[in-house]
A and B are shown apart, each in its own frame.
Chain A
Amino acid sequence: MVAGTIGAMLGLGGGVLLVPFLVLVLDVPMHQAVATSIVAVIATSSAGAAINIERRTVNIKLGMLLETTTVLGAIAGGFTASRMSGAALEKIFAALLAGVSLLMIYRTQQQKGEEVIETDGLIPASYFDESKGTTVTYAVRRLPGTMAISLLAGNVSGLLGIGGGIFKVPAMHFISGIPMKAATATSNFMIGVTAAASAFIYFAHGHLNPLVASSVAEGVLLGSFFGLLLSRTLKAKVLNWIFVAVLLFTAVQLSLR
């Protein structure tokens, strides 16, 4: 449930929290934990997207564009896995995540609380921000860079049982200049598709324990609704800081594994 709350709020699947919890606390085997987490990612994404679409914070066109590279990355995931050892992969991610969180801290400090929003670019969109009481209009810049990061995100998601939002959100925010709320909502919208691509592989191979997976899915769904209630009134800056905390947590947890 906690994973669902945080996941829905931050545009992640919650997999980064769920996998270690299942393995370390509930003693679920690693491959089963990854499979369960992928199902949980789909649950958070679908529940979250349904509500975020109503709030108009999801940029569907941007989401679909990024999905092309992300799904490609997910398919290539099996290839990457066979070339590299799991331990090496985890160390690389840990370093990468630590780097991203430092960047986020630096940029959040620089912005002095107000988000810098770009308005000239592709796929212009706007939404109503309840925490500010204004309509925010933005556009997407430097799309190829974000698409490249999405490829990477798709690639790692199947391997680690995460949605990949942890890479996509910072990319959308920093490279393409998309406000945090729209970035998290669009990422949340996308990760279900990324996860679904690998979910069936686990399902078909019988890695999914139906009782564990369905209980976790129900918990995550419940958690998503809390997360979405919270995120409506949350300030972008607070969202930023929670995101940084989760990034650092994931980095530490991966490097200690």
Chain B
Amino acid sequence: MPQLPQTKAEKWIGRTLRVGVWTSASLMSIGLLMTALLGPDSNPTFPDAIHWPPTALTFIHSGLLLLMLTPFLRVTTTLLSFFFEKDWKFVSVSFLVFSMLLVELIFAFR
């Protein structure tokens, strides 16, 4: 199909999103499959579920966490690509978004 060529920034942002989505979807699938086969885990809350050896919920939680982190990674990639393109106006715009998200993140886990 005749598409217009992508810029470098678009390529990187697209790649970040795709890797994030596919990895988290696979992790969640493993976890859900394990739950279906082995029955539900006893300990469903977040920090306790991340341990080794991994159980179904370890996979599910990591998948969910990665999914939630994907937009953050995308903003970071955007920031970096504007930086390499020396587009300072949009470096500052992205940085503003990035720092506000970081503040939210710190607040959430306090």
Contact = CB atoms under 8 A, between A and B. Distances in A.
Contacts, number: 152
Contacts of B29: 218
Given A45-B71, A198-B104, 17 more contacts: A47-B21, A49-B17, A53-B10, A56-B3, A60-B13, A61-B93, A68-B97, A68-B100, A71-B100, A128-B2, A192-B74, A193-B71, A197-B101, A200-B108, A204-B108, A211-B40, A211-B44
B10 A203 contact: no
Interface of B: 1-4, 6, 9-10, 13-14, 17-18, 20-21, 24-25, 28-29, 31-32, 35, 40, 44-46, 49, 57, 60-61, 63-65, 67-72, 74-75, 78, 90, 93-94, 96-97, 100-101, 103-105, 107-109
A193 B17 contact: no
Given A60-B13, A64-B78, A215 B101 contact: no
Interface of A: 39, 42-43, 45-47, 49-50, 53-56, 58, 60-61, 64-65, 67-68, 71-72, 74-75, 126-128, 130, 135, 192-193, 195-201, 203-204, 206, 208-211, 213-215, 217-218, 221
A221 B6 contact: no
